């Protein structure tokens, strides 16, 4: 979550080998997120982190890193802030793209963002999402919310169907936490996204722990 220590943590993740940084903008009802991310959002909100403060956090993170930085949030936050205003302010603050977890592919087609598809997504909708996604396609590898659960047996089919309709890079996320799981997912997709486990490590061990954790994942990719 975008809290005062976030730029330092993002820098540590990059030092560990992360190619891209996803920044969670906290929202009071994060439907796609499990308990760990929900608690992080509640903690950030209790400390006064609102959209403007998160954008400032994004700008500070951008000042430290050349890596792609992608805010992840929900449509209600953008609705309240203003869709066009948010897109402009996020870009000015250094966002490379955007993830809006609860916004379907048909919604706000003018908004530049990374699209998410899941095992339940029909192949034709995967094609549509791939045509409109920004840079890469986010494969939600499990049905349900975020959280460390392992690599789903549904991921191979999702990867196969996605590859049948697009050459866009495929990044698999949701459920991945250990180096072994990262290696298994990366053997199918082009990359992985790790959120919950990284938040847990950062909360427990700080920047140095996060750096080592990301490095352990990078070593198997």
Active site residues: 22, 33
Q: Classify residue 99 by its DSSP letter.
A: E
Q: How far apart are CA 23 and CA 122, in angstroms?
A: 28
Question: What is the Cα–Cα distance from 32 to 11, expressed in whole angstroms?
Answer: 26
| Residue 70: strand pairing partners | 22
What is the C-alpha separation between 105 and 43, in angstroms, rounded?
30
Radius of gyration of the chain (CA): 16
Among the listed residues 174, 219, 211, 212, the one whose alpha carbon sits nearest the alpha carbon of residue 194: 174
3-7: long-range contacts, CB 8 A cutoff, minimum separation 24: 3/43, 3/44, 3/47, 3/49, 3/57, 4/57, 5/207, 6/57, 6/61, 7/57, 7/60, 7/61, 7/63, 7/64
Angle (nearest 5°) at CA 46 between 177 and 115:
45
């Amino acid at each position: 979550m975008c809290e005062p220590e976030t730029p330092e943590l993002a820098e540590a993740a990059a030092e560990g080998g992360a190619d891209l940084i996803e920044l969670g903008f906290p929202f009071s009802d994060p439907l796609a997120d499990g308990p760990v991310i929900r608690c992080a959002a509640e903690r950030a909100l209790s400390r006064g982190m609102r959209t403007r403060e998160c954008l400032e956090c994004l700008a500070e993170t951008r000042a430290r890193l050349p890596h792609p930085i992608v805010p992840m949030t929900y449509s209600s936050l953008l609705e309240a802030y203003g869709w066009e205003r948010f897109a402009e302010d996020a870009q000015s603050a250094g966002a490379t793209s955007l993830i809006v977890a609860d916004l379907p592919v048909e919604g706000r087609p003018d908004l530049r963002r990374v699209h998410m598809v899941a095992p339940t997504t029909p192949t034709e909708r995967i094609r549509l999402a791939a045509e409109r996604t920004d840079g890469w396609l986010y494969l939600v590898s499990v049905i349900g919310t975020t959280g460390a659960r392992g690599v789903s047996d549904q991921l191979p089919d999702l990867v196969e169907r996605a590859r049948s309709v697009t050459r866009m890079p495929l990044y698999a996320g949701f459920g991945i936490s250990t180096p072994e799981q990262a290696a298994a997912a990366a053997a199918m997709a082009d990359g992985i996204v790790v959120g919950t486990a990284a938040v847990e490590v950062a909360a427990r061990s700080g920047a140095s722990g996060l750096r080592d954790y990301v490095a352990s994942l990078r070593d198997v990719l």
